[in-house]
């Protein structure tokens, strides 16, 4: 299989343009900075990062990779964007954290290192690739028996279109216009079906919410827009 097939060059270019501002907490990637503590909290509530071998799929500029490394994990971050990886490596040198960054697809990584990781995270990537089911399968191959996988993505329904695209991109200006394509959003049952094909079991599904009045994010409640899913590979 040609692993290069499962990337969207336009998506890589788009996030590459943001790389110079990846670590600016008030820049165009401010939403990622705002939700990063919540993502880390959810991961730590579902699995133990202390001493764990962790793969961060679609790591971008390394926000979550650094947070997990600071929590005690040994992290490998993979991405296909050269510019975000360069930003990630530059920041890693300043932080001195235990992280290795590589330019690779998750399918390519699974072919070379199956069953190598205690935890695999894949945040806000599935809705940006042509074949998200292939990413789910590769993550399942990469995690050790008994290991955990955490996905974060967007549900597909009228409410998510209004909140994630019309609201976030056009009204509130939280994200650059064109960040998301509604047709690529993924229903939780679709993600759960791909997981079932890969012999993964769903442990939890939790919503991620934004309050435009308080300008705060929170976890819990419904999964109508953003959600996180915890999967586990049976022993």
Residue 74: count of CB within 10 angstroms of its CB: 17
pTM value is 0.92
CA distance linking residue 185 with residue 160, whole number of Å: 9
Res. 1: pLDDT tops 50: no
pLDDT value, residue 65: 98
Which residues share a beta bridge with 67? none
Domains in the chain, ordered, with CATH? 3-232 (3.40.50.150)
The confidence score (pLDDT) of residue 114 equals 97
Mean pLDDT of the chain: 92
Q: Which two tokens stand for residue 102?
A: 């590589």
pLDDT digits (tens, 9 = 90+) for 197-211: 999 999 999 999 988
- Give the confidence band of 175 by pLDDT, cuts at 50, 70, 90: confident
pLDDT tens by residue, 78-104? 999 999 999 999 999 999 999 999 999
Answer for the pair 68, 56: CB distance below 8 angstroms, yes or no: yes
Q: Specify the pLDDT at position 2.
A: 42
Instruction: Output the six-digit token pair for 66.
Output: 């650094």
Tens of pLDDT along 111-155?
Answer: 999 999 999 999 999 999 999 999 999 999 999 999 999 999 999
């Amino acid at each position: 299989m040609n692993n290069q097939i499962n990337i969207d060059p336009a998506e890589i270019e788009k996030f590459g343009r943001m790389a110079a501002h990846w670590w600016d907490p008030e820049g165009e990637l401010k939403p990622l900075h705002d939700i990063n503590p919540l993502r880390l909290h959810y991961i730590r509530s579902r699995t133990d990062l202390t001493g764990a071998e962790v793969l961060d799929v679609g790591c971008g500029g390394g926000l979550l990779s650094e947070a997990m490394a600071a929590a005690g994990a040994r992290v490998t971050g993979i991405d296909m964007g050269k510019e975000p990886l360069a930003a990630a490596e530059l920041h890693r040198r300043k932080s001195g954290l235990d992280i290795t960054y590589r330019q690779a697809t998750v399918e390519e990584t699974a072919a070379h290192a199956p069953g190598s990781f205690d935890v695999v995270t894949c945040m806000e990537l599935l809705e940006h690739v042509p074949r998200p089911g292939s990413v789910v399968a590769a993550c399942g191959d990469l995690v050790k028996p008994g290991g955990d996988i955490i996905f974060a993505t967007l549900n597909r329904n009228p409410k998510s279109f209004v909140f994630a695209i019309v609201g976030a991109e056009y009204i509130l200006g939280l994200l650059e216009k064109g960040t998301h394509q509604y047709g690529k959003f993924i229903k939780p049952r679709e993600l759960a079906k791909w997981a079932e094909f890969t012999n993964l079991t769903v442990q939890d599904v939790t919503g991620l919410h934004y309050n435009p009045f308080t300008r705060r994010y929170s976890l819990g409640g419904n999964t109508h827009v953003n959600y996180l899913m915890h999967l586990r590979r049976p022993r």
